[in-house]
Amino acid sequence: MAEELYPLKMKPFLSERVWGGTKLAAYGKEIPPGGHIGESWEISGHRDGLSTVADGPLSGKSIPELISEFGADLLGTCVSAEKPFPLLVKILDAGAQLSVQVHPSDEYCAQHGLTDPGKPEAWLVLEAEPGARIWRGLEEGTTRGKFEELLAAGKLADCLHSFEVQAGDCVDLPAGTVHAIGAGIVLAEVQQTSDLTYRVFDWNRLGLDGKPRQLHVSEALATIDWDTLGGATLGDKVTPRECECEGSSCRKLVANKKFEMDDRVLDGISGIPTDAERFTCVVFLEGTGEVRWGDDRRAAQKGSSFLVPACTTGVHVVPEGTCRILVARPAVGPMA
């Protein structure tokens, strides 16, 4: 079966959000008239938003269907076919600021018998309007009591830690970190596959149905990592590690227990990392080019995403001029 697999160009699942906008059209997404598309689930095996193969012999197949058919040839020897597909890769358009929220840890989910695991994630900012901000963690000295007091008064922003961002910034968000994305930001997100979000404050706005959106205050309070002030002590932005790769410059952004995430600028033919242990996700962030392997090729443009199976070797990106890609892989470990 291994010979039937190839770099899979994916068709994303688009999610309308009250805070979404129209900027994802520039990334090749079809925005309905009057729509507020907030999230494009580029590479997703999650039941609430499956991406599918866009072309070739496997066109139309979802990631769970591919796992059932190909197993380790797709996933790799260190990724379990008995568990959900481990990564979820998105592009987000924050036309308005997102709610203040927190994601639970694996431990919390296991203790409470939840279907999804925890949700650590990381963001790479692609666009940011002047003054655009991200909220990450709590101001130093904020106690749970103070947090609850300000929340009850509708003044939670007074204890939230925030900072301005610009294109190229990366923000790491371990599970348990209070956070929010400000208006005017487009970003790429890599996360463990989960759709668990505990919304603690929504800036007193209404949802698309004209009603206040549901909050999950008790769950959020139980999930916040109070020992690290909700994440503020971890710093604001990631300091990338610069390195040279074949045909490209590479910024290694995040390497945690769940995934690795690199930002690569290509000015020549560049190989895509593949090995028998794990698959690779590739998202074109800027420019156009081709993904080539053997005698085959697929055109790629800004917003194209590819799931490269673990068994597929000799995969290269050939840019037209210069292009930029995000490369994400599951962390190496015993049966992730």
Q: What is the DSSP letter of 3?
A: G
Q: Is 251 annotated as catalytic?
A: no
Secondary structure of residue 118 in the 3-state scheme: coil
Secondary structure of residue 40 in the 3-state scheme: strand
Q: What is the dihedral of CA 15, 62, 290, 332, to 10 degrees?
A: 100
Dist CA 259 CA 103 (whole Å)? 16
Closest by Cα among 241, 305, 244, 301 to 271: 244
From the candidates 17, 133, 136, 199, give the one annotated as an active-site residue.
199
Spatial neighbors of 40 by CB under 8 A, at least 6 apart, are: 12, 13, 14, 15, 24, 27, 29, 90, 91, 92, 303
10 with 306: CB under 8 angstroms? Answer: yes
Dist CA 78 CA 259 (whole Å)? 13
Q: Per residue in 277-309, is it b (16+ CB within 10 Å) or e — as a string?
A: bbbbbbbbbbbebbbbbeeeebebebbbbbbbb
18 with 213: CB under 8 angstroms? Answer: yes
115 with 150: CB under 8 angstroms? Answer: no
Which residue do the tokens 């991200």 mark? 134
The values of phi and psi at residue 133, to 5°, are -130, 155
Active site residues: 199
